[in-house]
Structure 1
Amino acid sequence: MARALPLPIVLLTALALGQMPSPLATLERLFTVRPAQAAWFTTSFLQQVPVAQVDQVISALEAQLGRYLEARAEDDGFVVSFEKGEVPAVIVLDPEGRIAQLRFLMPRPRLASLEQALAAFRELPGKVSLLVLRDGEELAGLNPDESLAVGSSFKLAILNALWEEIKAGKRSWSEVVELRPQWKSLPTGILQNWPEGAPITLYTLAALMISLSDNTASDALLAVLGREQVEHWSGQNRPLLSTREAFALKNPENRGILERYLRADEVERRRLLPELDQIPLPPPTLFTGGPVAPEVEWFFSARELCRLIEGVADLPLMAINPGPVRPKGWRRIAYKGGSEPGVLNLTAFLSSNQGHRYCVVATWNDQTMLDEGRFVSLYGGLLEVLAGLQ
């Protein structure tokens, strides 16, 4: 809820940048000559990352992915290949050939088939839902009709409601609204820091809601469109909570109204909504630990999310942030993710170079902190399998 799913994880980094006389050979040396030597790195790099930590990272990659096989150039960077998977890498050398920057991105497991990918998702603890559609036909599924918490992916319902009104001529992307204080929510996003009364187009709100998972942008659109209008797209989520309302309910200081809300039916919950606007929000740090009031969420099945993202997949703003999807092998990418403690969702709608259209949804819920890196890695491996089916 509070944030979109992250871009590739940076394991090692340094500030000094330089030329790149022989980056591939230097990268290979890290995996073939051990231990790493301080002379291979710039002083500024070593001030941030000790050489022993470099060896630790490399050892951890080998422990996770097996024996090192090779390094090769790919796209704008490099890929390190192991027995069980691959790791994209970025390496930059200074004019003397020393490593000034080194980054290992999210590992991609080497999965041989959809069945193997499905088996890997089944091994995750807690509740998992997965759905893969190609041209509307189901290729793989794991509890695809079970409603699970999906965090910020619920914002696809808001975008569908907006797009419906734009297509009907009731609104336009260029329509301007002024930012109101009651719309301001907690991060993620940037609009919570903008001045009250700032003029913003509906397109800007939609683009920030999807690409940055801006919570204030989503609450603004929910207010502009009207809750009942958006609820045509929200399934069982009635009343559909704004992010601010959800944050307020999760605040431990507001336990009394949370208990009343959870006991109430839909009619009584709607009566309680005005009270939520008057109670304090929690500090953002509340959501850095384990799950908080997991009953307060947005619940969708993987199949429902496929329908939602398909309805807006061709909008250019859906491609601003591709999330964990590698552009290589796909002609068009539409992506929205959601996460909070105990909740992860990845939803993508992909068009292949051969004209096929894929929907790939994966959701994971548990009562503890989730291994986000593992989940995103499995999702990336699944997409690699699908790219190989083209």
Structure 2
Amino acid sequence: MLLATGLLTASLLFSHRFLTEATQQQLLPVVQVQLPKQSVMPKAALKRLLTTEPVQADWFTSEFLEHVPISQIQQIISSLKQGLGDYQKVQEQGKNYIVVFSRGYVPAQIALDANGKIAMLFFRPPIAQGKTLEEAIAEFKTLPGKVSFLVLEGKSERAALNANTPLAVGSAFKLAVLQTLKSQIATGKRSWRDVVELQPSWKSLPSGTLQTWPDRSILTLQTLSALMISQSDNTATDSLIDIIGRQAIESITPRNRPLLTTREFFVLKSATNQKLLQRYRHSNQEQRRAILQSLAQQPLPDISEFEAKPVALDIEWFFTAQELCSLMEQVADLPLMSINPGVANAEDWQRVAFKGGSESGVLNLTTWLKAKNGKQYCVAGTWNNDAPLEESRFLSIYGSAIAGLK
């Protein structure tokens, strides 16, 4: 993802938008809380949260509510019910819980303070009941805007909807960055162990946290790649683009020339640069490259500019579902691709590789799966619309399609 906005969880422990990359599972910073024993049972508190409306502020600690407002908590609960149906029960799973709904379930963690108030709450990506691929495509067709979807079993196409239509995919373009780096390593030009110093010019906006690290921090290409994929770290991405070369990446994605860095993406879309944006739109490739060079002197905008309605969706990275599965196939063997399993339940599969992408109006999920019987799948889904997306609905359909492949 490009933006560090929460989707499925709230608390002193947060999950990032892709599941972060997600889902990655992409996580915002974790605050460790030492809690005394309490008399109220966490299971009962979790059940009350999911069955009693409206959500009450006095169920939570004041520290919790400093981070997450009641309105956001209510939105998360409503989103879960909308995607998975009516609440059924809470089951214990070791020290954690499974919240069962009529159309799936959600792994959850909860901790209470000594007074029985919620001090930590964490919902993992929902696991929907399996759907047939035909059912999934029928539901995808009901979404407003443009949707593409592709399921490959090995090299064979199992299901497809607009699979050769280029759509904006957000941070999923980072698969092309990783594939280019992997190729350079294979030829001996670079090594995963190569060490670089973090340059100020590489720093971008979230998602990720590397932009907060001190200048000249020492990093390996392996570390940058792991951050780029598992946390969708934008600064790690821009670092790698500069190191391996923009045009080297463009050689495997000719549609995206010039290939934008994430910093250029944010600066070009900023409300303060509308004239520059219009000039960029009407320029040829060489003129665009000159404009991008000039952006290095522009300050980064505030991240809040991009958290509401979609902004300039023509300024993006465009890939077909077929292209994403091709890129994923070439990098899925890398261990860093499995740090964040996305929406798939990793326990159901021998191996999962994932990369997603999102900004307001853009959502992509691309997952490579190896089943316990050895079968291999790629599932790529993208949704674009000129209005904010109902992400939980897309995630539910996509997750159901994956569950149906088991």
Matched ranges for 1:158-169 at <5 A: 158-169=177-188
Moved more, 121-130 or 194-203: 194-203
Displacement after TM superposition at 1:239 (Å): 0.9
Q: What is the aligned partner in structure 2 of residue 331 from structure 1?
A: 350
Displacement after TM superposition at 1:71 (Å): 4.0
Matched ranges for 1:115-264 at <5 A: 115-264=134-283
| Counterpart among 341, 364, 372 of residue 322 in structure 1 | 341
Moved more, 53-62 or 305-314: 53-62
- Look up the equivalent residue of 1:176 and give its one-letter code: V
Q: Using the alignment, how far apart are the partners of 2:42 and 2:263 within structure 1? A: 48
- Look up the equivalent residue of 2:276 and give its one-letter code: I
Work out whether residues 108 and 378 of structure 1, in 8 Å CA contact, stay in contact via their aligned partners in 2.
Answer: no
Q: What is the aligned partner in structure 2 of residue 292 from structure 1?
A: 311
Moved more, 248-257 or 148-157: 248-257
Deviations 1:229-272 (A, max 9, x none): 11122230011111111212111222222111111122322232
Q: Using the alignment, how far apart are the partners of 2:269 and 2:63 within structure 1? A: 42
Q: Using the alignment, how far apart are the partners of 1:97 and 1:221 within structure 2? A: 47
TM-score, structure 1 normalization: 0.84
Work out whether residues 24 and 73 of structure 1, in 8 Å CA contact, stay in contact via their aligned partners in 2.
Answer: no
Cα separation, partners in 2 of 1:104 and 1:160, compared to 1, 3 Å: closer
Q: Using the alignment, how far apart are the partners of 2:321 and 2:9 within structure 1? A: 25
Work out whether residues 4 and 208 of structure 2, in 8 Å CA contact, stay in contact via their aligned partners in 1.
Answer: no
Show structure 2 runs of 5+ residues with no match. Answer: 14-30
Displacement after TM superposition at 1:310 (Å): 0.9
Identical counterparts, % of pairs: 46
Q: Using the alignment, how far apart are the partners of 1:282 and 1:37 within structure 2? A: 35
Displacement after TM superposition at 1:298 (Å): 0.3
Cα separation, partners in 2 of 1:111 and 1:274, compared to 1, 3 Å: same
Deviations 1:313-368 (A, max 9, x none): 11111112222222121111111111111111111111111111111111111101
Q: Using the alignment, how far apart are the partners of 1:5 and 1:332 within structure 2? A: 27
Displacement after TM superposition at 1:87 (Å): 3.2
Cα separation, partners in 2 of 1:381 and 1:16, compared to 1, 3 Å: farther
Moved more, 189-198 or 202-211: 189-198
Displacement after TM superposition at 1:115 (Å): 1.4
Q: Using the alignment, how far apart are the partners of 2:385 and 2:50 within structure 1? A: 39
Cα separation, partners in 2 of 1:188 and 1:102, compared to 1, 3 Å: closer
| Counterpart among 119, 129, 149 of residue 110 in structure 1 | 129
Deviations 1:197-222 (A, max 9, x none): 22221111111111111111111111
- Look up the equivalent residue of 2:187 and give its one-letter code: A
Cα separation, partners in 2 of 1:352 and 1:70, compared to 1, 3 Å: same
Displacement after TM superposition at 1:299 (Å): 0.3
Work out whether residues 179 and 330 of structure 2, in 8 Å CA contact, stay in contact via their aligned partners in 1.
Answer: yes
Moved more, 3-12 or 153-162: 3-12
Work out whether residues 351 and 371 of structure 2, in 8 Å CA contact, stay in contact via their aligned partners in 1.
Answer: yes
- 1:361 partnered with 2:372: no
Displacement after TM superposition at 1:4 (Å): 6.9
Q: Using the alignment, how far apart are the partners of 1:64 and 1:190 within structure 2? A: 30
Q: What is the aligned partner in structure 2 of residue 302 from structure 1?
A: 321
Q: Using the alignment, how far apart are the partners of 1:339 and 1:284 within structure 2? A: 14
Deviations 1:273-296 (A, max 9, x none): 221222232211111111112111
Q: What is the aligned partner in structure 2 of residue 2 from structure 1?
A: 2
Q: Using the alignment, how far apart are the partners of 1:47 and 1:205 within structure 2? A: 32
Work out whether residues 381 and 398 of structure 2, in 8 Å CA contact, stay in contact via their aligned partners in 1.
Answer: yes
SS of corresponding position for 1:125? coil
Displacement after TM superposition at 1:153 (Å): 0.8
Cα separation, partners in 2 of 1:259 and 1:92, compared to 1, 3 Å: closer
Cα separation, partners in 2 of 1:95 and 1:331, compared to 1, 3 Å: farther
Work out whether residues 113 and 385 of structure 1, in 8 Å CA contact, stay in contact via their aligned partners in 2.
Answer: yes
Q: Using the alignment, how far apart are the partners of 2:320 and 2:40 within structure 1? A: 49
Using CA pairs under 8 Å that are at least 6 residues apart, name the structure with larger relative contact order, 1 or 2. 2
- Look up the equivalent residue of 1:89 and give its one-letter code: A
Q: Using the alignment, how far apart are the partners of 1:183 and 1:308 within structure 2? A: 24
Work out whether residues 8 and 324 of structure 1, in 8 Å CA contact, stay in contact via their aligned partners in 2.
Answer: no
Q: Report which of the two structures shows the higher radius of gyration computed on alpha carbons.
A: 1
Moved more, 108-117 or 204-213: 108-117
Cα separation, partners in 2 of 1:226 and 1:42, compared to 1, 3 Å: closer
Q: Using the alignment, how far apart are the partners of 1:355 and 1:115 within structure 2? A: 23
Work out whether residues 127 and 345 of structure 2, in 8 Å CA contact, stay in contact via their aligned partners in 1.
Answer: no
Deviations 1:48-84 (A, max 9, x none): 5999x99998788667644544443457633333333
Show structure 1 runs of 5+ residues with no match. Answer: none
Q: Using the alignment, how far apart are the partners of 1:108 and 1:267 within structure 2? A: 46
Moved more, 318-327 or 286-295: 318-327
Work out whether residues 51 and 87 of structure 2, in 8 Å CA contact, stay in contact via their aligned partners in 1.
Answer: no
Displacement after TM superposition at 1:312 (Å): 0.6
Cα separation, partners in 2 of 1:4 and 1:144, compared to 1, 3 Å: farther
Count of aligned positions: 385
Work out whether residues 351 and 370 of structure 2, in 8 Å CA contact, stay in contact via their aligned partners in 1.
Answer: yes
